[in-house]
Structure 1
Amino acid sequence: MKRVACVYGGSHAQLATLADPALAPYRIQPVHVRELTAVAVADADVVVVSDRVRPDLLIPRSPAVLACLDRGATVVVFGVNAVGDWLPGVREESRPTIFWWWRTGEDHRIRLRAPDHPAWPCFAERAVVWHYHGVLEPPAGAVSLVDLETDTGERDGSLLYIDEASTPGRLLVTTMDPVYHHGSGFMPGATQLLYSAMQWATRS
């Protein structure tokens, strides 16, 4: 069974998510960001960085997460974590969030990519088309599964990508924040993304 660690900051949503009975089979080991060191996650096969961890605490301790990738572990980094400041080769730009597009009739401009990628069996469309907090330009060799388009139909950037090329490990990065919304009990799709990411990260 995969050993899973989750880096969190202690918010109500993070604590509620960690207490979710549906996640109990993963036997997640919580690691508070203030206690994040290479030793604290040395035995983890999977490291999940919860969304919305304070950047002033996460960024100085991010080498511990990068070391996991260097030794071949799987890392999932959820949104609102200033990844452009600590993940190598990643550019991040903020974008206004389109709330409640399914009620207003707006085009969410979220587009699914790479339909033959082996990760897709883990992710339903509902899990990845709901919400975002910016766009990413991943490093060379990474594959974007979900893009945002501009209102003129041009590619704006990635909302979720998988990188199995730039390090010995596997990396999933998204600008969506499922832990916050799952733990807070609102926003369709958040729970599906959380569960789907866990399935992808822990599968053999």
Structure 2
Amino acid sequence: MQKIGYVTWGNAAQVRSFQDFAHLLDDMLYLRELDRHDLGAYSAIIIPDVMDCVELRAHARQLNDYVRNGGFLIVFSIRDVENIIDVVKLKWQPVNARDWLWWTRPNPYLEVRQPEPRHPICDAISLADMSWHWMGALEKHPDAEHILTLDDDSLSLFMDFRNLQGGGRLMVTTLDPHGHNGERFMPATTRFLEAFYPWLNGELGINRERNTFSLTYLRALDSTWDWEPPGLAETFEGTGVTLRYHALYDLDDTVLRDSNFIYIPNNTDEIFLRSRATDFLAFLERGGHLILSSQPAIPWLPFMSTFRAVAPRPFTNLKVRVRHDPLGFFSNVSDEFDGWQGIFGQYARGWTDMPEGAIWLTDVGPTDDPKPADWLWKYPTSNDKGGYVFMHNGDSIVRYPDHGPHGPCLLRDICNGIIAAEGKISKPERPSYPNLSWGICDCHRQQRFLAAAR
């Protein structure tokens, strides 16, 4: 399996840039622990800008040996690059943009060009998206392909060394996109990375598109609606999501490992679920997704709370309203989607508290004091690869809607929305949901919870 490693010294801008493109990267490698990693396991290693170059220098031999042994090292703007990288002889010059505010001028011009013959990466990244400024320049090297140079062709800003001794490859640039992107400053840098990382995956032959996903429905209560809901399987035909049913008490590591989604219906054993909390948290940690229909009396995961009902009068309190739907979960339902066979209150009669950073999806209760009937939360991990939790505080969502052309489509559409957000499917543009901010859970509370569960 080909993988891309991304080195960080813990700087927020570096980490945030990794999180932005985690769907196109594999592992975030902490610089101070780099010697614990076998870099040979990676097809490419990224050294982003805004790096602690003192600490990086301590790992110079490991990085150069990686290239000499056939690795592909990509180095963005770092200080003292000519003394850290020795697989080729680099010479840095303190030459910067003549006018740092060039883009504010009546006839804006930055003295850079993509020289002919243009490097193939230029088909992915335009000159405009390589243009903001640079942090010094490099003397041109006879063994390099030059991607970006000064307009007089005197110095290089982006070079590619292919087929080095041992079969390795080095790309080195004095551009600094990660710091600016991570600081949410300078849009060209974000556009650069949005093009660079897909190009890199293509260059390495890495195809991250997944055509099939597995949804495991945990059977708990032996009844028609809970055991094998009528019409549910048909909604998944042709979607790439494989629905399978599995007995709750037979949940094992194989099922957890082979599932992308786990759906847990409302009528289930919360005491048993609490006993498996560690397994569910590990499932979320590695990127699995939980879709829960629950009115928990036992908060069986550390980020859950107990269910509370809204006042049933006036009757309009039980009418569920879509509040915010950034992933299109409710796009195929009418305003009456929550009225199963016309009965309101079946879908949801209350709420649970949301963890910090969750997305409030639907309202229940009075209009002047609404509560979250449904919420979405991404499980926080250091590499931003945690799975999503869709929490429905009510009856089993596989019943809804029970009318209209789409059948009981809600579970299917939740899966499809999460797949799109995860960035695992081919889309014209990488999904961007600027309003989705994920919070960090209370780790001490989680540790106390797990200790109690054990």
TM-score category of the 2 structures, normalised to the smaller one: 0.7 to 0.9
Q: CA deviation at 1:8?
A: 1.1
Structure-to-structure mapping, 1:39-118, within 5 angstroms? 39-88=37-86, 89-97=89-97, 98-104=99-105, 105=107, 107-118=109-120
Distance 1:166 1:139, change over 3 A: farther
SS at match of 1:114: coil
Q: Per-residue CA shift, 1:36-85, capped at 9, x if unaligned? A: 22744231111000112111111120222222212222221111342111
Contact in 2 for aligned 1:51/1:81 (Cα 8 Å)? no
Distance 1:138 1:40, change over 3 A: farther
Letter of the aligned partner of 1:4 in structure 2?
A: I
Distance 1:197 1:71, change over 3 A: farther
Once residues 11 and 24 of structure 1 are traced to their aligned partners in structure 2, the CA distance between those partners, rounded to angstroms, is 16
Once residues 5 and 199 of structure 2 are traced to their aligned partners in structure 1, the CA distance between those partners, rounded to angstroms, is 15
Structure-to-structure mapping, 1:16-55, within 5 angstroms? 16-20=16-20, 23-37=21-35, 39-55=37-53
Once residues 11 and 73 of structure 2 are traced to their aligned partners in structure 1, the CA distance between those partners, rounded to angstroms, is 21
What corresponds to 1:12 in structure 2?
A: 12
Contact in 1 for aligned 2:129/2:191 (Cα 8 Å)? yes
Distance 1:2 1:121, change over 3 A: farther
TM-score normalised to the size of structure 1? 0.87
In structure 1, which of residues 133, 136, 145 is the aligned counterpart of residue 135 of structure 2?
133
Distance 1:165 1:59, change over 3 A: same
Contact in 2 for aligned 1:52/1:81 (Cα 8 Å)? no
Q: Per-residue CA shift, 1:135-175, capped at 9, x if unaligned? A: 112543111111114xxxx4331011111043422221110
What corresponds to 1:156 in structure 2?
A: 154
Q: CA deviation at 1:106?
A: 5.2
Once residues 85 and 14 of structure 2 are traced to their aligned partners in structure 1, the CA distance between those partners, rounded to angstroms, is 22
Once residues 122 and 3 of structure 1 are traced to their aligned partners in structure 2, the CA distance between those partners, rounded to angstroms, is 21
Superposition RMSD in Å: 2.0
Shifted more, 44-53 versus 104-113: the winner is: 104-113
Once residues 59 and 116 of structure 2 are traced to their aligned partners in structure 1, the CA distance between those partners, rounded to angstroms, is 33
Contact in 2 for aligned 1:6/1:47 (Cα 8 Å)? yes
Letter of the aligned partner of 1:73 in structure 2?
A: G
Contact in 1 for aligned 2:6/2:25 (Cα 8 Å)? no
Contact in 1 for aligned 2:68/2:164 (Cα 8 Å)? no
Q: Per-residue CA shift, 1:107-159, capped at 9, x if unaligned? A: 3111111344333222222221222111112543111111114xxxx433101
Once residues 140 and 56 of structure 2 are traced to their aligned partners in structure 1, the CA distance between those partners, rounded to angstroms, is 20
What corresponds to 2:311 in structure 1?
A: none
Once residues 52 and 27 of structure 1 are traced to their aligned partners in structure 2, the CA distance between those partners, rounded to angstroms, is 19
Contact in 1 for aligned 2:76/2:172 (Cα 8 Å)? yes
Letter of the aligned partner of 1:16 in structure 2?
A: R
What corresponds to 2:392 in structure 1?
A: none
Q: CA deviation at 1:92?
A: 0.6
Distance 1:39 1:19, change over 3 A: closer
Distance 1:199 1:82, change over 3 A: farther
Once residues 54 and 24 of structure 1 are traced to their aligned partners in structure 2, the CA distance between those partners, rounded to angstroms, is 21
Letter of the aligned partner of 2:134 in structure 1?
A: Y
Structure-to-structure mapping, 1:174-185, within 5 angstroms? 174-185=173-184
Contact in 1 for aligned 2:140/2:154 (Cα 8 Å)? no
Once residues 155 and 117 of structure 2 are traced to their aligned partners in structure 1, the CA distance between those partners, rounded to angstroms, is 17
Shifted more, 40-49 versus 96-105: the winner is: 96-105
Letter of the aligned partner of 2:84 in structure 1?
A: W
Q: CA deviation at 1:10?
A: 1.1
Distance 1:65 1:5, change over 3 A: same
Structure-to-structure mapping, 1:178-197, within 5 angstroms? 178-197=177-196
Once residues 168 and 194 of structure 2 are traced to their aligned partners in structure 1, the CA distance between those partners, rounded to angstroms, is 21
Once residues 36 and 79 of structure 2 are traced to their aligned partners in structure 1, the CA distance between those partners, rounded to angstroms, is 19
Once residues 139 and 35 of structure 1 are traced to their aligned partners in structure 2, the CA distance between those partners, rounded to angstroms, is 32
Letter of the aligned partner of 2:128 in structure 1?
A: R
